[in-house]
Amino acid sequence: MKLTVATTPISGQKPGTSGLRKKTRIFMGRHYLENFIQALFDVVGAEGKTFVLGGDGRYFNDRAAQVILRMAAANGAAKVIVGQRALLSTPAASHLIRLNKTDGGIIMSASHNPGGPDEDFGVKFNMPNGGPAPESVTEAMFARTGTVSEYHIFESTDVDLSTQGQQRLGDMIVEVVDPVADYADLLETLFDFDAIRALFRGGFRMRMDSMCAITGPYAVEILEKRLGAAPGTVVNATPLPDFGGMHPDPNPTWASDLMEEMMGDNAPDFGAASDGDGDRNMVVGRGIYVSPSDSLAVLAANAHLARGYRSGLKGVARSMPTSGAVDRVAKSLGIEAFETPTGWKFFGNLLDAGRVTLCGEESFGTGSDHVREKDGLWAVLLWLNILAVRKESVADILAAHFARFGRNYYSRHDFEALDSTRADQMFATLREKLKTLSGQSFAGLSVTNADDFAYHDPVDGSLSQRQGVRVIFGEGTRAVFRLSGTGTEGATLRLYLESYAPGPGGLNDDPQSALADVIKAAHEIADIQGFTGRTSPDVIT
C-alpha cells in the first residue's frame, strides 16, 4: 500500500563534495533519510524511471536500502537494479548505471569516512552518465529539502535482497544482481589479463588491503580468481558494517599495516589499498610509496601499454590541488591537460565530451572514461598491467619517470575538527589579502601570483568560483588552501604543498624536507596558528 506521510523540512540537508554526508545517527533520525530521498526524487523525477541502488555495506546500508526501495516504488519508479545484499562499490554502481542505460543511481556511502552507529553515513545521486550529480542538481535538491512537506513510501515487508533475481514491490520491479560480475567483466576488456596472469605465475607477490570495506569481494574475484594471485593476497577482504573498526581511507596513516609490510624485509612486489566504497586507491612498491599525484603521472605515461588505452590518451585532467606532474607527461605526449576544481563531478563533462581519457586527484583518486567515478581497483590493475609489460619494479619505474620528467615534491597537510567560525575567518582574511601578496617574501620564498581558483567548464561554460586559494612562488612551487567539503565535524583545512625539481631527484628524498620552506611560508601567510591554534597537521599524506 502506498502511503503519503506528512513531514516538516529538516535544516542542513546540504549535499557537499560527494552527496549528503552526516553522522549515522542523524541519518537514522525521524524522517531524516525519507526527507532527503523525497527531495531527491522530486528533483530528478521518479515516475517510470529505472535506477541503480547499492552501497558500501556500512552500518545502516541495509536499512536505508529498504527505505529507498519503498520510496522509489511509491514515487512511481519502474525498476530498481540493486546489488545483492544492497552492496555495490561506487565504480561498479557507475558502471551498472551506464551498462543498463538507467536514469541514474543512488549510492549509500560516506566513502573513506569510518562507519558504524557513531560514525558516518551518506547518500549520493549519480546521473544517467554514471557520474556524480553536478552542483545545479545538488543545489536543487538542497532547495527542495527546505520545502518538502510530505513523502511517499510503500508499506510492505522487507524486500529479499539476499538472492539474485527479479521481484515486485507494488508495480515496481526490483532486480537483485551480482554486485561484482559486470564490473569484473568490464575490467577484463581494458587490461591484458593474460600478461598479468603470467606475472603472478612467475612468482610476483602482491598484498591488496581492502580495509574490511566494499572492494573485498571484487578484489578476491578479480585478483585471486580471475588473475591467479595467491589465495590470501587480498587481506581484510570481508566488508563489515563498522569496517572492523578501521578507518577505510587508503593513505600511509590509515593503511599503516600495509605500509609496514611494504617497507619490511620480506615485502611483496606490490601493495595496494582501497577505501570504504572502492573508488580510492593507494599503491606502494617494495620499499617505496607512490604519491597519488605521481601515480597519475606514471599511469598517464604508460597507459598505452594496456589494451584499453593502446591507441593513446585523448587528454588528461587533474584537480587543481593535485601536483602538476601529469601536466608534464601531457606536454610530452602532445595532449591537453585540464585543471578542475576538487571533486570527481568536475571531470564528468570532459569525459563525456571525449576530451580526456585519464583523470585524477591527489586524494588517492584515479580513473578513466570507462566509468564516471574514480576507480580504486581499476588503478591497481593498470599498475599491474604496466608492471607485467615493463617487467621492472615499482621503484625502477618511478626512478625512470623522475629522471625523465623531473620530480614534483608534494604533500597535503590536513588540520581537522577546527572551529568552523575561526576557519571561515581565516579564509576571509586570506582572501582579503590575496591582491597584496604578489612580490612579498615568506620564509625566503617570493610570491609571484596569488588567486582564488575559478573554473570555467570548457564544455558547458558554467563557472565555479572560490575553489581554493593558490599562492604561487615561481614555476612549480605553490601552496594551496581549501576547506573540506566532506568532513562531518567542524571544519577541515587542507593545505596542499608542492615544489618542482628538474632532473632525477633522490627517489627516497623526504617530501617534508623538500617542502620545508613552502610549509613555513604557508603557515605565515594564513596565520594558521593564530586562527586555529594548531602548529602541525593531524594527517599528512
Residues with catalytic function: 111
Exposed/middle/buried for 140, CB within 10 Å: 0-12, 13-18, 19+? middle
* Residue 12: φ, ψ to 5°: 80, 15
**C-beta of 111 vs 342, nearer to Zn ion:** 111
- To Zn ion, the closest distance from the beta carbon of 344 in angstroms equals 9
- Which residue type sits at 439? G
In sequence order, the 6+-apart residues with CB closer than 8 A to the CB of 89 are 56, 179, 183, 214, 215, 218, 277, 278, 279, 376, 377
Which among Zn ion, ligand G1P, none contacts residue 17 (Cβ within 5 to 8 A by kind)? ligand G1P
- To ligand G1P, the closest distance from the beta carbon of 365 in angstroms equals 6
Q: How big is the chain, counted in residues?
A: 541
Q: Hey, is 72 helix, strand or coil?
A: helix
Question: Which cell numbers in the block locate residue 397?
Answer: 619505474
Q: Which of 111, 236, 302, 488 binds Zn ion (CB under 5 A)?
A: 111
Stretch that binds Zn ion, among 230-238, 269-277, 319-327, 479-487 (CB under 5 A): 269-277
Sign of CA dihedral 227, 229, 231, 235: negative
Q: Is residue 327 a contact point for Zn ion (CB under 5 A)?
A: no
Interface with Zn ion: number of residues (CB under 5 A): 5
Which among Zn ion, ligand G1P, none contacts residue 18 (Cβ within 5 to 8 A by kind)? ligand G1P
**C-beta of 295 vs 302, nearer to Zn ion:** 295
Nearest to 289 by CA among 511, 465, 121, 437: 511
Stretch that binds Zn ion, among 7-15, 142-150, 159-167, 271-279 (CB under 5 A): 271-279
The H or E element containing residue 308 is none
- To ligand G1P, the closest distance from the beta carbon of 31 in angstroms equals 27
Stretch that binds Zn ion, among 106-114, 198-206, 225-233, 330-338 (CB under 5 A): 106-114
Q: Is residue 373 a contact point for Zn ion (CB under 5 A)?
A: no
- To ligand G1P, the closest distance from the beta carbon of 345 in angstroms equals 8
- To ligand G1P, the closest distance from the beta carbon of 360 in angstroms equals 10
Distance CA 9, CA 142 (A): 11
Q: Is residue 277 a contact point for Zn ion (CB under 5 A)?
A: yes
The H or E element containing residue 420 is helix 420-432
User: Which residues of this protein are in contact with ligand G1P, per CB under 6 A?
Assistant: 17-18, 111, 319, 342-344, 361, 363, 365, 484-487, 494
Which among Zn ion, ligand G1P, none contacts residue 58 (Cβ within 5 to 8 A by kind)? none
Is the backbone of residue 128 left (phi > 0), alpha (psi -120 to 50) or beta? Answer: alpha
Distance CA 501, CA 299 (A): 20
Give yes or no for a contact between 358 and 318, defined as CB atoms under 8 angstroms apart. no
Stretch that binds Zn ion, among 26-34, 275-283, 377-385, 489-497 (CB under 5 A): 275-283
* Residue 398: φ, ψ to 5°: -65, -45
Which among Zn ion, ligand G1P, none contacts residue 277 (Cβ within 5 to 8 A by kind)? Zn ion
- To ligand G1P, the closest distance from the beta carbon of 343 in angstroms equals 5
Give yes or no for a contact between 309 and 385, defined as CB atoms under 8 angstroms apart. no
**C-beta of 286 vs 412, nearer to ligand G1P:** 412
DSSP symbol at 280: B
Select the residue whose beta carbon is closest to Zn ion and give its number.
Answer: 111
Q: Is residue 56 a contact point for Zn ion (CB under 5 A)?
A: no
Distance CA 497, CA 409 (A): 8
Q: Is residue 275 a contact point for Zn ion (CB under 5 A)?
A: yes
Q: Which residues pair with 481 in a beta bridge?
A: 469, 495
Half-sphere exposure of 333 (CA within 13 A, CB side): 23
Which among Zn ion, ligand G1P, none contacts residue 134 (Cβ within 5 to 8 A by kind)? none
**C-beta of 3 vs 454, nearer to ligand G1P:** 454
Longest dimension (CA), the chain: 71
Which among Zn ion, ligand G1P, none contacts residue 275 (Cβ within 5 to 8 A by kind)? Zn ion
Which among Zn ion, ligand G1P, none contacts residue 344 (Cβ within 5 to 8 A by kind)? ligand G1P
**C-beta of 182 vs 416, nearer to ligand G1P:** 416
Distance CA 197, CA 172 (A): 43
Which among ligand G1P, Zn ion, none contacts residue 383 (Cβ within 5 to 8 A by kind)? none
Q: Which of 224, 269, 279, 327 binds Zn ion (CB under 5 A)?
A: 279
Distance CA 535, CA 410 (A): 19
**C-beta of 17 vs 477, nearer to ligand G1P:** 17
Could you tell me where the DSSP H helices lie in 303-393? 325-333, 348-352, 376-390
- To ligand G1P, the closest distance from the beta carbon of 67 in angstroms equals 24
Give the footprint of Zn ion on this chain (CB under 5 A): 111, 275, 277, 279-280
